[in-house]
């Protein structure tokens, strides 16, 4: 849902946008994303990123559990 707060790798913060997308700068090789679902708790998803540091690409979809 748009507007939920996101914590990336325990430090960076962001927001879930429309269509459930999240922009994440400076990805690590191993990443953990946690979404605060307000009254519904939170969910997490982990993923690996292997790419050129200068590329911008769409990853996923990933399902937050």
Reference 16, options 36, 39, 40; nearest CA is 36
| 37 part of a folded domain | yes
The answer to whether residues 44 and 64 touch, using CB atoms and an 8 Å cutoff, is yes
| 40 part of a folded domain | yes
Confirm whether pTM is higher than 0.75: yes
**What pLDDT is stored for residue 37 in this prediction?**
94
DSSP secondary structure code for residue 26 in this structure? S
| 58 part of a folded domain | no
Range of the domain at 22: 5-48
| 55 part of a folded domain | no
**What pLDDT is stored for residue 54 in this prediction?**
62
| 25 part of a folded domain | yes
What number is the average pLDDT over the span 41-45? 95
Total domains in the fold of the chain: 1
Q: Which residues contact 8 (CB under 8 A, 6 or more apart)?
A: 14, 22, 24, 31, 32, 33
């Amino acid at each position: 849902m748009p507007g939920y707060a996101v914590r990336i790798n325990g430090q960076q913060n962001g927001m879930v946008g429309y269509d459930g997308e999240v922009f994440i700068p400076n990805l690590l090789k191993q990443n953990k994303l946690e979404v605060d679902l307000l009254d519904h708790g939170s969910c997490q998803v982990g993923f690996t990123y292997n790419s050129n540091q200068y590329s911008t690409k769409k990853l996923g979809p990933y399902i937050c559990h």
